[in-house]
Structure 1
Amino acid sequence: MSVDEARPLSVVLVDDHSLCRNGLTDLLQHRGGMRVAASTGDASKVCGLLREHQPDLLVLDLRMPMGDGLSVLRQIRAEGIDTPVLILTMSDAQDDLAAALHAGVRGYLLKDMEPEDVIASIGRAARGELVVAPALTLKLAQMLQGGRPGQERQDLLASLTEREREILEHLARGESNKTIARALDISHDTVKLHVRHILTKLNLSSRVEAAVLAVEQRGASAGGDSLFRRTPR
């Protein structure tokens, strides 16, 4: 789904607490300049609301009495609805984060984040970027590394071409394929092909994993100026 930058971003909110729904609606509309097309605490109504309003993003709680967020996500995908989904939750558990990313969410935010950070992150996700709460960055890096030795990571990164490394730099900033294509003056399909090659070479299953690996590697690189140490080939 492409986003028309000339109109306000639209979202549908799903949370079983009316206070949270009302507060987030006020936050996004009055401080974020977005349009909350609909909100509900009833998981059974989500598919109908998405078909009716066709929002840029679904903001979904993870824990709800009438159906957890990931079950809702699986249901809407089974119904053929491809609306991007962002999880907004109180849970900072690594298992929940891993399950959500594996399910293909656009982002994973925590309800105790600063309001302005929530607004900015939801806006970025609606425009196609991948967002994760800053407090979860370390857990995500640990989860994705999976005990992989540092030298093995270096060897995998060294297998990337210069163009693939360049695109990985953009992935580390959470940019969408469309944004990357525009920045590098190449086609959207070419970016998709490069991303697929990057994931294959790094033995990863998603661009989120690639982005986190890149950010972690940038922090480990001497001087922090580049994502990668150039390993002699």
Structure 2
Amino acid sequence: MTDYKLTYHHYSERSILVQWPQKIDENILDDVLIFKNHIINSEIKSILQVNNAYNSILIIYVSTIDNINDEFLVLKSLYSTRVRLINSTCKLWKIPVCYDDAFGIDLDEISKAKQLSKSEIIRLHSEVIYTVFFIGFLPGFLYLGGLDKRLFFPRKESPRSEVKKGSVAIGNEQTGIYPHASPAGWNIIGNSPLDFFNAKVNDPCFAQAGDKIQFIPIDINTYHNIKEDIQSEMFSIENKVIDG
């Protein structure tokens, strides 16, 4: 297991930011999640919450941090004693996506710029197994790593004021799904009929950091059928446990 050179920052009066090398990398994510879980399982009573991003964790404390250097030492000691779980597992979620022109409102632009047919863009986007790096920006927004380099595409200079719930999008080196109708600066290539955040259940977002995502292309009739099944609570997201 690689020992990365971490940096520790006094982020606010009640929080510390720990940073890894600033790149999107699955080995770094693995280390981030191992350290995050080690902190949580340490049961340090002064820690309220631990959140992760691509290459950092934010540790929020119950009250104001009196001696920041003491807390840095505690965290550094925890990092040095972290242990990889031998039989770690995660879930692979199969997410239906309709890439119909009615939803893929930026497919034409990407197709022309990349000199790829829309069917080729769909193939490249849906044949990859993505990794959930973290959930943020909006509740249930999955930041996914693993996009084919041929589909890298810059964010829009002028974000849209609103896109549909379930919009599947590409922004620079990333892909993700907007869980709610919201402003959006990414390029929209399709739509998923699923609910990605449900505040009424214990786990509002079905996926978690470290899980895998596979997009399954569907036609527009299947899309509407799934929508109806979800409304009548007759649909379950296909998933399976795999080795992490």
TM-score, normalisation: structure 2: 0.27
| Structure number with higher relative contact order (C-alpha < 8 Å, ≥ 6 residues apart) | 2
- Which protein shows a greater Rg? 2
TM-score, normalisation: structure 1: 0.28
| Greater strand content | 2
| Greater helix content | 1
